[in-house]
Structure formats: structure tokens, C-alpha cells
Structure 1
Amino acid sequence: MDVNRQYNRNQMDYDMDHPNPKLDKMSCNEDRVDSGLDSLKEEEFRNIVEDMESLNMAAAEPTRNDNNEPWKKEVTEDGDTFLHLAIIHEAKEQAIQMINLSRNDPFLNIQNNQRQTPLHLAVIMEQPKVVEKLLVAGCDPLLVDSSGNTALHIACKRGSMLCFAVLTQVCPKHLPSILKAPNYSGHNCLHLASIHGFLSLVESLIGLGADVDAQEQCNGRTALHLAVDLQNPELVKLLVTSGADVNSLTYGGYTPYHLTFGRQNGEIRQQLHDLTAQELRELPESESESEDSDVEAQSEDDEMYDDIHFVGH
């Protein structure tokens, strides 16, 4: 890519959690929303639903908690409990009955083969009422799935406003640690909301105390770097207004302004040019230039010792 001086774009590639196929450098692990579906035939699932409906879950005993209940021990080949299945198949009444009968019970935190708790699945399936019931009953919001995502990470990734509101209001004591926690791709909640362009979530996260200048662990990019790379001027404006550091450097030494080189949005480039410190506007030396310098230095060294003889040569 020609931008007045040689610019090694490979240094600026990174792996982001984004569904847009046009961004071929951005990959993500899809949430498992079919847990329990592929492994169960229709007849088998009907039998499970009948079993759940026949369970002794009388509304008159909402606080009963019996660890010896047989339905708590049933697990499918995917690791799903009856509660997982009830959430997946949107059997909300049965799910809430099981939750009421399992207050502060480890049953609520059982993870399936994808390490998803019922709370993860309730967010994926957009069931804010079930999310609230789970949290109040003692489901742990700090548990992560096989991608390192808490339930709040998933809400930020999917733009689930209602689930996001419940998660942040019902368990405020865990919020600071969740906001700081990166998933296994190195992204925290603010990074995920920024990558997927959910401006209202970004604004809410910053208002809740998320660090606007937190760096993702792969390349050290902040939410502002991500917004520039995604060419999202509204997000850039929001982050700058929220106090994002325009002079923040990635691990490779790039400011958000550097990421505007070779991209079409002139509005973003001009905005960041005016805000970026003058000494940080020039692109850092690329790998190619460093390699050329190393080659030149090596050539000079070779000339210095061209009179060395080895075995008569």
C-alpha cells in the first residue's frame, strides 16, 4: 500500500471478533445457539419436555432446594442439563420453575461441553427475565465459556440491550472485574461493543466505568483504534468526546491516526490529524525498512572483514 512512504500493513493486522465477511482479517468463534438441538431427535425432545412438565415443581414450594432431584442429574451428550434445554427451546415457564427450585444450588452453574452456563444461553436466546431469575437465584456472572466470554461479553457482542441492562443492574459488585476481563481473543466488553458498532452499549459501558483506553491483548489497540480500523466515524466521535486518548500507541507504535493511512474516510483522518500530537503523526519505521537497514549494515560488516582466510581461502 503506497502512502508517501513504505508502510507495512501486515504489522497492523489483527484478529477481531466480527461477523462481517468483508473484513477477512477479523474472525470470531460463533456462539453455540444449537446446543442440545442436533443431538436430540424430535421424539426424544418431546419426551424430555413431558418429563419436565411432570416434575414436582409446585409453585407453592418456590424455595425448595433438593440436590437429589433426579432431573438435576440428567445431562445430554452435549453436556446440557434440563435447564440448558429449557432455555434453548424457550420453555421459559419450566426454566423459571427449575431456577426457583435451585436457589444457590451448583446446578445453576453447570457448564455444558462449550462451557456455557444457563446464564450464557439465556443471553444468547434473548431471555432477560430468565437472566434476572438466574442472577437472583445465585448463578455466577463471572464464569466464562470456551471462548473466554462472560454473559456480559456475549450481551455486548450481540447488542442485547435488555440482557445488558439486567446483567449490569442485578450484579453491580462483579461489574468492575467483568469490565476489565478480556476474553480468549484479548477483547473486553468495550472492545466487543466497539467492534460490532453498538454505540449505545459503548456509551453505557463508559458510563459504568469501562476504561476507554484499555488495550486489546493481541496488538494493543484501544477502542479508538478499532473504530478507525472499522471506519466508523460516529464511533470515533463518541470515543473522542468520551475522553479517548488519541495519542495511544499499539504495541507496534501506531496511533489511531496512523490507521487512517490508505483508508477512504477523510473525515476521520482530518479529525484525528488535528488532535494527534505533531511528533506522533509520522508513521513509525516499518519492518521492511528495518530489514533493509539490517542488510545494509550486514554488507558493511562483510566488507570490513573481507580479508579473513579460512582453510587457505
Structure 2
Amino acid sequence: MQFLGRLLDTVSSVSTLFTNPYRVRDVPLSDYGGGGKFLLKEEGRMVLYKNTQYQSWDCLLMCPETPNATLRMFQVASEEDAMNWFPQYALKLRPFYETLPLKTETAQPIVDCIRNHQDWSSAHIAVETGLRECLKHNYVQSQINARDASGQTPLHLACERGELACVRQLLEESQARTDIRDRLGETPMHCAAKQDTPAIIQVMCSRLCSGVNELNNNGETPLHVACRLGRVESVKALLGGGAKCDVVGGTGYAIHSAMKYSEKSCVEEILTADPGQLQAEDSLYGGTPLHWSKTAEMCLLLLERGCAVNYLSKTGESALHILTRRGRFEAAMVLLTHGANANLKGQDGNTALHLAMKMDHMELIKALIVFGADVEIHNDLGETPGLIAARTSKGPNRKILLDMLCSVGVQRCLPPSPGSPPSFSNKAKPAGIALTEPSFPEGFVLSFPMRTNLMYGLARKEITEMYAFTACVWLRAKGSGIGTPFSYSVPGQPNELVLLQGVHNPAELLINDKVAQLPLSLPQDEWQHICVSWTLRDGVWKAYQGGKMKGRGEGLAAWHPIKPGGVLILGQEQDTLGGHFDASQALVGELSQFNLWDRVLKPAEVAALADCSSSALGNIAPWTDHDVDVFGGATKESLDPCHAGHRSNPSGPKQ
């Protein structure tokens, strides 16, 4: 039984030992002083034994500081493995055990590097393990500029790992070269640019290290790399260290890389360092940064700095063409609200509307028509947008699209589909139809005769940022509820500012999706004067009807400024920027004298507007016939609510 127990113990020991044969272990030196152990090789302090008891080959590191114990570096069952690994261990471990007293926890990361990265020198291993003291060893010094299989030196590795202390030591004490390129053509500066470790870049730039403006095999400088990865702190450090913004890469300048990946902060840093990059043309298509934009936010950033919104690339395309072709609705809306010409011709003579028709993108089509896209303009093949729509539009969009085109004056090629709504003749046509708008010297109203998602008005004034506002309007509702007299949307927030009332719901004021219910009572078929005011300070709001305050409150979107650059629609609620209207929320009736101020009007001013003793115009969105357009069958009609008939009550005139 004792023999059987010893046998089981031996089997268990062998099984445990070979579970991880490369695990570094502390073992008694006396284990290798008896029989069954044969010394095979010895190099420096490294010794290789054949262990006949376990049929293994054991590599030991003799440690003078612990004469009764040793470190077993590996215990393998194959002589071939032992003979392969022993020379590498003996060579690469020597600088470490000659510099430091190695313990199990220190030695394990070193031997892991030896096994997992056979192409690494001892200098690479010292950087990876953070054992900087070993970089001073003479043998390691001889390998300071050694390259691994990927062509990287220890300095590449230190920069890539973000090891500032190692970088300093390699540069200052070891004189490591900074001009060596790896197999990707990257210098250590490229590796540093991939990390948000500006201190490393600053150290390298302070020593005038080469590589700050060098291109890798992909045509990228370190600044290109940092912009692509969104490493804004690295961008700052590179610009401060002499990186040039005007080095053209494989596809363009660094700003084009930042725009491609929508790295806003990187773009801002480049434009601050070199404002001329705002119109820099890429090397492939001759496109400006605006041509490379993908989001509304990035478009707005460039437009606010004054970039040319209608600039044509070498391929003859504007940024609007590109955004339309890629279906980026919100970004396209920002361009349109900042003066983009919807009728510029690009490749093959196509306008943005031609492209939107080919894609059957309803929201873009509506937006382009709203902003004056000519529905009758011909491309180089003689095609109009309407002809493309008739050929390519499929499914439920087809009927809606053809009816909408008919409503803005396009000749139908075929009779209308059964059940199509009747066509409405606009007295005010969009700016691309090339008809003259009538003037309304006696005032005008917008008429929305039926509940539909096609009829709406557009206030063409650009909306600036507002910290307070007052919006006033005359309304005559034809159905239950007032629908949506006005809605203002911005990129990313369709409900930036909305006044609406459902069929069986109270009137509501929405700001940044926050809601306040308004105590208004609006009878049908009677002209009513409504005003709402708000200030971001504590979110205080007031609601007026007929010149009298009906309610007030606070806490509505407090400290949230109304954002600029959006779309102000009359008669419809926007679910996306400039579109996606819902017929159930549409205004049915008439609307007039909508004015918007960027301040809170005094009660006396509101009362004067309501009793028609004042005709003050809003400084943000004034009620003038050339600042308001109608589409989709809504009409402008000559009428002034203040002179429509005898006023029978204080709430306003009644016709």
C-alpha cells in the first residue's frame, strides 16, 4: 500500500509539473544534487539538467543571493524543446539577472516575452516589462536600435505603449534613433500619435526628432494618424511641436482625415493653427473639408467659420451633391439652411434633386423642393427630376411623390392615381419654379384648408441662438385643436421649439423635448391672438391670449439656449430636421402675423399687438411676404386679421 501511495504521488506530481511547463518556480537547489539529475549545458548562470526521475529537461537560473534555492525557468518533456529554448533563455535573460535580483514574479513576464516574441531583443523586452534599469546594460545598449519582425525598434514599442520614462531614457541616455521606419513605413512619432500621450510627443519634438512630418506607407503623417483616431491631445502636441497642416497625404490633408471620421475637436485644433485649411482641397477629388463631412454637427462647424458652401470639387460636385447621394439628410439640411444652392449642376449635369429622385429619398426630396430646387431643370441626358421620379419611384412613395410634384406645378404625364388628393395651386411657388410671387401690400394669411402632411409654410430667415424668445401669431382654427402653428428643429433635436395642440389635448409648448401645458382656450373659426414667451433663466414661460396673460410657469428647459441653424416650419410638426410631417398634428385653418423675437416682450407690447395698435415685426423671424413661403397646396391669401372685420371681443377681430 505504501508503494502504491508513493506511485500515485509521483504520477500526481508529474501531471502538475507538465500542466504549465514554462511557469517559473522557486525550487530547492538540493533537488538537483542527488542521483537522476545530469548536467547537460551551462551558460553564465543558466544551467540545463536532464531529470530522469520525471523524464524532463529542466532549465535553472542560479541565484547567488539565495544559495539554497534556484529558479526553474522551464521543465519540458521534449529534448528538442529544451535545446531550442535554452540558448534563447541564456542569451536574453543575461542582462536582466546581471542587473537585477530576479524573483519569480519578475522573471515570469520576461520569459513570457521570450516565448511569445522570439523576434524581440533584450531591449524590446526591457521596454515591454518596464525594467528600465536593464536598458543601461552594455549588451542591451548594443541592441537599442534592433528591429523585430515588424521592423519596430524598442523606441517604437515604448511610444506605442505610452511609456514616457522609457522614451526619455532611450532618447537621452541611449541615443536611440528616431528616423527608423518599420515595415508600415512608420517612425516612432507615428506610434506616439496613435496614443493620447502628448508628453511623449513633446519630449520627442523638443529634441527635434525626425518623423513629425514624414509620411508612412499609407500616406499619413503623424498628424493624419492622430486626426484619424481622434487623439486630440496628440494633435495639439504635434501642432505645438512643428507638425505642418499642409502636408498632403495619400487622400488629402490631415483635416480631411479628421472630417472623414467626424473628429470635431481635431478639426477645431487644425483650423485654429491654420485657418487656410478651411478650403484645403484633397488630392483625390479636389474636395474641401465640407465635401468630407458626414454629420450636421461637422457641417455646422465649418459653415460657422465661413467655408464656401457652394464650392465645387474637381469632379464638379458641391458638398450638397455628396451628402444627397449618401442620404445624409440632417447634414444636407444644415447646408440648405446656410445658403447651399439646390440647383447647382454636378456630374452629368445632375442637381441634388436629380440624385435624391434616383434614391427615392422622400425627406431629402421634400427638403430640396422647400429650399428652391427646380423640379423642371434638365441634366445632360435631358432628364428632369420629375421624369426620374416617374421612372424610378416605387411602392407607397410613388403616389405621394408624384402628387407632391404636381402640387408644386409639375405637369403630370399620367392621370392621377385613384384616391389621390386634389392638386392645389400655390399662389406662392418655391424659388426654383421660376414664377414671380405676388406681393401682399395689405397683409396676408397662410391657408391650410385640409389636414395633410404636405401643406406647410417655411420661414426663410436664419435663426440665431436665443436665450429668450417671444412668438406671437394670429390663428383661426377650422377643426378641433390648433394642430401645430409652428415648429423649429435643429440637427439632432426635431423638438427644439414647438407650439401644438392635439384634437383632445391642451395646448403645449415644447422646448428641447421638455413640455409645458398652456391654459389656452381656442374656439373654432374665430381669429385669436396668441403669444408665448420664455427665458432660459429658470425656464420661465408665459402664455397670452387676446393680449392677456393666461398662465405662467418655470422649469421649462432651464438654461438650455435655443440652438441656431435650424428649420422653422409653419403649420406642421417636424419629426426630423425639416420634414417627416404627421398629418394628425397639422394645422387646419389660417395663420397670420407670425413674428419671433429673441427677447421677452413686455405685457404692454403683447397687448398692443393683440388690439392691433402695433404692427411690430419680430427681429428673428418677421412676418413679410418675401420671408415666408408655402408648399404642398398651402396658399398665401391677401388678408389682414386686424382689418378682416369688426372686432366683437377683446381676443381679436372676427371675420
State if a TM-score over 0.5 links the two structures. yes
Q: Secondary structure at the match of 1:219?
A: helix
Q: Secondary structure at the match of 1:262?
A: helix
Unaligned 5+ residue runs, structure 1? Answer: 1-39, 59-64, 283-313
Other-structure match for 1:129? 265
Other-structure match for 1:166? 301
Q: Tell me if structure 2 keeps the 8 A contact 1:57–1:101.
A: yes
Deviation for aligned residue 1:198? 2.1
Aligned partners of 2:360 and 2:158: how far apart in 1?
51
Question: Which of 360, 374, 389 is 1:245 aligned to?
Answer: 374
Q: Tell me if structure 2 keeps the 8 A contact 1:181–1:188.
A: yes
CA shift digits 1:264-309 (9 cap, x unpaired): 212112221343454x969xxxxxxxxxxxxxxxxxxxxxxxxxxx
Aligned partners of 1:233 and 1:56: how far apart in 2?
49
Question: Which of 256, 259, 263 is 1:120 aligned to?
Answer: 256
Question: Which of 237, 258, 261 is 2:387 aligned to?
Answer: 258
Trace 1:213-228 onto structure 2 (pairs within 5 A). Answer: 213-216=343-346, 218-228=347-357
Trace 1:75-114 onto structure 2 (pairs within 5 A). Answer: 75-102=215-242, 107-114=244-251
**Structure-2 change in CA distance of 1:192 and 1:99 (3 Å):** same
Other-structure match for 2:202? 57
CA shift digits 1:68-105 (9 cap, x unpaired): 66343433233322212223344332222112344xx7
Aligned partners of 2:399 and 2:219: how far apart in 1?
51
CA shift digits 1:112-146 (9 cap, x unpaired): 122x2111111223211111010010051222221
Deviation for aligned residue 1:258? 0.8
1:267 aligns with 2:400: yes
**Structure-2 change in CA distance of 1:152 and 1:118 (3 Å):** same
Aligned partners of 1:248 and 1:262: how far apart in 2?
16
**Structure-2 change in CA distance of 1:47 and 1:183 (3 Å):** farther
**Structure-2 change in CA distance of 1:73 and 1:134 (3 Å):** closer
**Structure-2 change in CA distance of 1:192 and 1:74 (3 Å):** closer
1:209 aligns with 2:347: no
Deviation for aligned residue 1:196? 1.9
**Structure-2 change in CA distance of 1:220 and 1:276 (3 Å):** farther
Name the amino acid aligned to 2:287. N
**Structure-2 change in CA distance of 1:56 and 1:81 (3 Å):** closer
Deviation for aligned residue 1:225? 1.5
Q: Tell me if structure 2 keeps the 8 A contact 1:132–1:167.
A: no
Deviation for aligned residue 1:214? 0.8
Q: Secondary structure at the match of 1:72?
A: coil
Q: Which has more radius of gyration?
A: 2
Unaligned 5+ residue runs, structure 2? Answer: 1-148, 163-187, 415-655
**Structure-2 change in CA distance of 1:191 and 1:73 (3 Å):** closer
**Structure-2 change in CA distance of 1:281 and 1:69 (3 Å):** farther
Q: Tell me if structure 2 keeps the 8 A contact 1:108–1:118.
A: yes
Q: Tell me if structure 2 keeps the 8 A contact 1:190–1:202.
A: yes
1:189 aligns with 2:319: yes
Q: Secondary structure at the match of 2:202?
A: coil
Name the amino acid aligned to 2:381. G
Aligned partners of 2:235 and 2:157: how far apart in 1?
16
Other-structure match for 1:301? none
Other-structure match for 1:143? 280
Q: Tell me if structure 2 keeps the 8 A contact 1:212–1:244.
A: yes
Deviation for aligned residue 1:257? 1.0
Q: Tell me if structure 1 keeps the 8 A contact 2:201–2:237.
A: no
TM-score of the superposition, structure 1-length normalised? 0.62
**Structure-2 change in CA distance of 1:224 and 1:42 (3 Å):** farther
Question: Which of 118, 135, 154 is 2:292 aligned to?
Answer: 154
Aligned partners of 1:41 and 1:90: how far apart in 2?
25
Aligned partners of 2:255 and 2:245: how far apart in 1?
8
Q: Tell me if structure 2 keeps the 8 A contact 1:257–1:276.
A: no
Question: Which of 228, 234, 248 is 2:363 aligned to?
Answer: 234
Aligned partners of 2:399 and 2:151: how far apart in 1?
55
Name the amino acid aligned to 1:85. V
Deviation for aligned residue 1:55? 4.6
Q: Secondary structure at the match of 1:193?
A: helix
Aligned partners of 2:214 and 2:158: how far apart in 1?
13
Q: Secondary structure at the match of 1:70?
A: coil
Q: Secondary structure at the match of 2:279?
A: coil
Aligned partners of 2:320 and 2:353: how far apart in 1?
10
TM-score of the superposition, structure 2-length normalised? 0.31
**Structure-2 change in CA distance of 1:131 and 1:255 (3 Å):** same
Deviation for aligned residue 1:244? 1.5
Q: Aligned residues, how many?
A: 223
Q: Tell me if structure 1 keeps the 8 A contact 2:325–2:355.
A: yes
Aligned partners of 1:110 and 1:266: how far apart in 2?
51
Give me the identity figure in percent. Answer: 21
Question: Which of 214, 234, 257 is 1:74 aligned to?
Answer: 214
Aligned partners of 2:222 and 2:269: how far apart in 1?
16
Name the amino acid aligned to 1:210. A
Other-structure match for 1:180? 310
**Structure-2 change in CA distance of 1:281 and 1:251 (3 Å):** farther
Q: Tell me if structure 1 keeps the 8 A contact 2:297–2:331.
A: no
Aligned partners of 1:183 and 1:189: how far apart in 2?
8
Aligned partners of 1:212 and 1:148: how far apart in 2?
20
Which of the pair has the greater relative contact order for Cα pairs under 8 Å at 6+ separation? Answer: 1
Between Structure 1 and Structure 2, which shows a larger proportion of strand residues? 2
